[in-house]
Amino acid sequence: MRRNIVAANWKMNGSRELVESLVGGVKAGVAKLDKDVEVVIIPPSLYLADVEKAVSGSALQLGVQNVARWESGAYTGEVSAQMASDVGCAYALVGHSERRQLFAEDDVQVAEKVRLILASGLVAIICVGETLEEREAGQAEQVVARQIRAALADVSGEGWKKIVIAYEPVWAIGTGKTATAVDAQNMHANMRGLLSELGAPAQEISLLYGGSVKPDNAAELFAQADIDGGLIGGASLVSDDFVRICGAV
């Protein structure tokens, strides 16, 4: 059985005050849910220690938003996968569209990061998704398949247990537009088919949907056969909304 996962990507938002109020609310709310769901909080790296303290005693997991392409050394400003693991992270996001678009992260870099994330014992949440132009040109499946093939090029054996893929159509991130549940399911089913082709244990790999997931659309998305949870941006900054999304799994 694959895990249901709901992950909160805070992006570059937050403060110590927010950590306290938001994580406190999420911790209390998730504890009351009668759901089999792994909840992951992914704050800016500077607040990882604060969030780790705030989640202690709960089942909430910690994740990092990005890691360096290198193990260690003279890379000012970077944070390694090993460091993320050292401070208590269990998950690492990689290939988020904001990293791909604003920081020119390409498929090769994503694959390098996936390798380092797995080597550090973390679970990689690999983000993939097409732009609006690519969708309108009928290339959505092709783009997502290319991104997945590249990211997983070096994954095999036990490594598959540390892979989660989040389908996030770029046009749906932070825009209030969501893929229809049917379109999202079709893409997830294609992705699972591709994973099988690549020799992965496809039925055991959690596939998440991301892109303007809110309390009122989460249940329909999560009810789809191949959608195993969500990667949540904006709505993860409001504890009641995020808890309702976790409860929709």
Residues annotated within the binding site for substrate are 9-11, 174, 212, 233-234
Site for ligand PEP in 184-213 (CB under 6 A): 210-213
* Closest to 198 (Cα-Cα) out of 227, 170, 165, 222: 165
At its nearest, how many Å lie between ligand PEP and the CB of residue 177? 9
Question: Which C-beta is closer to ligand PEP: that of 233 or that of 247?
Answer: 233
Q: 188 catalytic, yes or no?
A: no
At its nearest, how many Å lie between ligand PEP and the CB of residue 66? 12
Indicate the annotated binding residues. Answer: 9-11, 174, 212, 233-234
Round the CA-based radius of gyration of the chain to a whole number and report it: 17
For residue 23 the two structure tokens come to 């994580």
- Residue 240 vs residues 101, 109, 175, 208, 231: alpha-carbon distances, Å: 30, 36, 20, 21, 16
Torsion over CA: 34, 36, 37, 38 (sign) = positive
Torsion over CA: 200, 203, 206, 209 (sign) = positive
Question: Which C-beta is closer to ligand PEP: that of 200 or that of 218?
Answer: 218
Question: Which C-beta is closer to ligand PEP: that of 84 or that of 235?
Answer: 235
Return d(Cα 2, Cα 50) in angstroms, integer: 30
Site for ligand PEP in 104-133 (CB under 6 A): none
At its nearest, how many Å lie between ligand PEP and the CB of residue 9? 4
At its nearest, how many Å lie between ligand PEP and the CB of residue 211? 5
Are 212 and 174 spatial neighbours (Cβ–Cβ below 8 Å)?
yes
* Region binding ligand PEP by CB under 6 A among candidate stretches 46-54, 60-68, 183-191, 230-238: 230-238
Question: Which C-beta is closer to ligand PEP: that of 10 or that of 160?
Answer: 10
Which residue in 22, 173, 184, 249 binds ligand PEP (CB under 6 A)?
173
Q: Work out whether 9 is an interface residue with ligand PEP (CB under 6 A).
A: yes
Torsion over CA: 136, 205, 105, 236 (sign) = positive
Return d(Cα 203, Cα 205) in angstroms, integer: 6
Catalytic residue among 112, 130, 134, 168: 168
Return d(Cα 29, Cα 167) in angstroms, integer: 26
Interface residues with ligand PEP (CB under 6 A) are 9, 11, 168, 173-174, 210-213, 231-235
What positions carry a catalytic annotation?
96, 168
